[in-house]
């Protein structure tokens, strides 16, 4: 049975092949692209193939001990491995120090240095002889949060992770992030800690996958009224939306009010007019919360001095659909020449590009999504 295009069959096959071959992966993509959905699917694919998967979400965690506790809780729920892992840890930790090691993973962590514990935990997974895949969602946000609280701790943890990768090759790692871990690593001066990860970029849907997704929404009873999207309507949707994420495609699909069928027993349809009305509905105050993560992401995940500059860039670029040139943006920051260098500006623009806000087109930086630009112009700038 073939897999629908929007279920990302090619990405899933490639991730399976890499992880089964022992490659560690860093999967980076902006919000609302489907990283978490894809990770869950790969978890299911690998589990069906007999691989042990341990999957956790660490967004909001800001200490190495809390990260390890979350990992322990997930392993405790894996009946196929928890017994052998617990026995291995009990033996090794008792050898490392006197006294009772504890009867559960959480108890052992509570009485052990976190790094000694993580060494022993990953060694326990490795010694089983079969492959284990550890999947950590939003790892880059965790590292960034930790680095703001404890920069030295973040550096030590990343290099510790690299050593675990090198020494325990029966354990593969799949890390995701909605901010570039490479950017975080550059800020901390430790790009070398990521050398053993293969970057895996996750793009928005192409037009074929978008069509497939919209068809499923209509055909599987997920809309109030099923309808066919005309070629003109689909072209307008893809042109204005730009960023073909399942999140916004789904909202648009549900807000479309299709035209009545032209003949009895026919199917309703939606063209350019109906799609544009759906865009206008999505941009109404009622649905502002659907766009909130875009502003929150900048405020939460960048340094204060960068936050203001990023917001200035976005405010200027949303004024016209064609965006702005680097020279104009540099002049915006430099009423007195030299306050912001061209290199600083390029780094800011690349961050906005990597995170899905902007794209460089014919020498100008414009919003990738016309929908996001319209929202920014209306409610933020």
Q: What is the pLDDT of residues 194-213, one digit of tens each?
A: 668 888 988 899 999 999 99
Q: Could you give the residue ranges of the DSSP H alpha helices within 198-321? A: 207-219, 231-241, 246-255, 272-282, 292-301, 304-317
pLDDT the model gives residue 338: 63
H or E element: which one contains 38? helix 35-48
List the domains of the chain with CATH numbers.
5-201 (3.40.50.300), 207-282 (1.10.8), 291-379 (1.10.10.10)
For the segment 311-315, the average pLDDT, to the nearest whole number, is 95
Q: What is the pLDDT of residues 325-370, one digit of tens each?
A: 999 999 988 876 667 888 889 989 988 987 889 999 999 999 999 9
This prediction has a pTM of 0.85
For the stretch 189-196, contacts whose Cβ atoms lie closer than 8 Å and that sit 24 or more positions apart, written own/partner, are 189/155, 190/155, 190/158, 190/159, 193/155, 193/158, 193/159, 193/161, 193/162, 194/26, 194/158, 194/162, 195/162, 196/24, 196/162, 196/165, 196/166
């Amino acid at each position: 049975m073939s897999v629908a295009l929007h279920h990302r069959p090619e990405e899933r096959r490639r991730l399976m092949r890499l992880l089964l071959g022992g490659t560690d992966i860093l999967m980076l993509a902006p919000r609302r692209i489907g990283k978490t959905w894809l990770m869950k699917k790969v978890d299911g694919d690998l589990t069906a193939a007999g691989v042990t998967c341990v999957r956790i979400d660490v967004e909001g965690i800001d200490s190495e001990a809390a990260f390890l506790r979350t990992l322990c809780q997930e392993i405790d729920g894996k009946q196929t491995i928890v017994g052998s892992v617990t026995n291995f840890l009990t033996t090794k930790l008792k050898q490392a120090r006197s006294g009772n090691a504890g009867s559960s993973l959480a108890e052992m962590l509570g009485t052990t240095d976190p790094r000694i514990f993580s060494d022993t935990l990953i060694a326990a997974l490795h010694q089983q002889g079969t492959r284990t895949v550890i999947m950590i969602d939003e790892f880059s946000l965790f590292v960034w949060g930790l680095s703001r609280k404890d920069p030295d701790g973040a550096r030590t943890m990343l290099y510790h992770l690299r050593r675990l990768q090198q020494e325990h090759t029966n354990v593969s790692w799949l890390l995701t992030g909605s901010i570039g871990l490479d950017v975080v690593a550059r800020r901390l001066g430790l790009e070398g800690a990521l050398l053993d990860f293969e970057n895996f970029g996750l793009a928005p849907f192409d037009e074929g996958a978008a069509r497939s997704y919209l068809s499923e929404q209509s055909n599987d009873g997920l809309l109030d009224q099923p309808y066919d999207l005309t070629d003109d309507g689909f072209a307008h949707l893809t042109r204005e939306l730009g960023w073909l994420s399942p999140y916004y495609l789904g909202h648009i699909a549900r807000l479309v009010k299709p035209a009545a069928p032209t003949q009895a027993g026919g199917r309703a349809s939606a063209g350019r007019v109906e799609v544009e009305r759906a865009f206008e509905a999505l941009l109404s105050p009622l649905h502002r919360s659907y766009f909130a993560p875009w502003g929150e992401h900048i405020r939460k995940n960048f340094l204060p001095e960068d936050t203001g500059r990023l917001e200035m860039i976005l405010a200027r670029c949303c004024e016209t659909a064609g965006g702005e040139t680097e020279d104009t943006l540099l002049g915006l920051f430099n009423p007195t020449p030299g306050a912001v260098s061209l290199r600083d500006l390029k780094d800011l623009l690349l961050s906005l590009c990597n995170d899905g806000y902007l794209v460089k087109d014919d020498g100008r930086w414009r919003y990738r999504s016309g929908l996001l630009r319209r929202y920014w112009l209306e409610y933020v700038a």
